[in-house]
Amino acid sequence: MIPNSEKWFSEVETPREVSDPQEIAWDDDADLVVVGFGAAGAAAALEASELGLQVVALDRAEGGGATELSGGVVYAGGGTCIQKEVGETDSVQAMRDYLMHESGDIVKNETLLRFCEQSSGMIDWLMQHGVKFSGPVFKKKTSYPNINYFLYHSDNSLLPAYRGEHPPAARGHRAVISRGKSAVNLGGSIYWPMRDSALSRGVRLERLTEARQLIVDEDGSVLGVKALHLPHDSQASSDFRRYQGRAERLLKTYPAFLPGGKYVRRLCRKYFAKSAAIAGEFRVERYYRARKGVVLAGGGFIFNRKMVAEYCPKYLGGMPLGTRADDGSSIRLGQSAGGKTEYMHRATAWRFINPPYAWSQGMIVNQNGQRFVNESCYGATIGDAMVERNDGKAWLVLDGRLVKESWKQIMPGKLLPFQSQLAALNMLFSKQRYKSLDDLCESLTFDPATFLVTLENYRLRSRGEIEDPFQKATEDCASLEWPLHVINISLKQKLLPCPVLTMGGLAVNERTGEVINGAGEVIAGLYAAGRTAVGIPSNLYMSGLSIADGIFAGRRAGRHAADRA
Q: Give the pLDDT confidence of 408-435 residue by residue, as tens digits.
A: 999 988 888 888 989 999 999 999 999 9
Residue 153: Cβ-neighbour burial (10 angstroms; 0-12, 13-18, 19+): buried
121 and 256 belong to one structural domain: no
The letter for the amino acid at 548 is A
- Domain boundary among the residues 282, 303, 318 is at 282
Residue 27 belongs to a domain: yes
Specify the range with the lowest mean pLDDT, choosing from 27-31, 38-42, 95-99, 178-182: 178-182
Confidence of residue 442 (pLDDT cuts 50, 70, 90): very high
Residue 366 belongs to a domain: yes
Residue 30 belongs to a domain: yes
Which CATH number goes with the domain that contains 545? 3.50.50.60
Query: What is the pLDDT at residue 333?
Result: 98
The yes-or-no verdict on residue 230 having pLDDT over 90 is yes
Strands (E), 326-472: 341-342, 347-349, 363-365, 395-399, 432-434
Confidence of residue 182 (pLDDT cuts 50, 70, 90): low
What's 207's DSSP letter?
-
Residue 7 belongs to a domain: no
Angle at alpha carbon of residue 151, lines to 172 and 190, rounded to 5°: 65
Query: How many structural domains are present in the chain?
Result: 4
Query: What is the pLDDT at residue 250?
Result: 85
The yes-or-no verdict on residue 525 having pLDDT over 70 is yes
60 and 202 belong to one structural domain: yes
CA dihedral 233, 239, 242, 244 (to 10 degrees): -100
106 and 201 belong to one structural domain: no
Return d(Cα 73, Cα 537) in angstroms, integer.
14
376 and 456 belong to one structural domain: yes
374 and 445 belong to one structural domain: yes
Residue 493 belongs to a domain: no
Look up the domain containing 420 and give its range. 351-488
Residue 375 belongs to a domain: yes
Residue 517 belongs to a domain: yes
In the chain, the percentage of residues whose pLDDT exceeds 70 is 98
Q: What b/e sequence results for 103-142 when a residue is b if at least 16 CB atoms lie within 10 Å of its CB, and e otherwise?
A: beebbeeebbbbbbebbbebbebbbebebebebebbbebb
Return d(Cα 151, Cα 139) in angstroms, integer.
9
205 and 57 belong to one structural domain: yes
474 and 509 belong to one structural domain: no
289 and 203 belong to one structural domain: yes
3-state percent breakdown (helix, strand, coil) of the chain, nearest 5? 40, 20, 40
Which CATH number goes with the domain that contains 379? 3.90.700.10
66 and 77 belong to one structural domain: no
CA distances from 407 to 29, 354, 462, 468, 536 (A): 59, 13, 22, 27, 37
Mapping DSSP onto H, E and C, the string for 441-470 reads HHHHCCCHHHHHHHHHHHHHHHCCCCCCCC
The yes-or-no verdict on residue 515 having pLDDT over 80 is yes
329 and 357 belong to one structural domain: no
Give me the mean pLDDT over the 210-235 stretch: 96
Q: Which residues pair with 505 in a beta bridge?
A: 342
- Domain boundary among the residues 488, 507, 525 is at 488
358 and 386 belong to one structural domain: yes
Return d(Cα 301, Cα 331) in angstroms, integer.
8
Angle at alpha carbon of residue 543, lines to 540 and 548, rounded to 5°: 90
Residue 128 belongs to a domain: yes
49 and 138 belong to one structural domain: no
First to last CA, the chain: 32
Q: Are residues 39 and 11 in contact, defined by beta-carbon separation less than 8 angstroms? A: no
- Domain boundary among the residues 425, 459, 488 is at 488
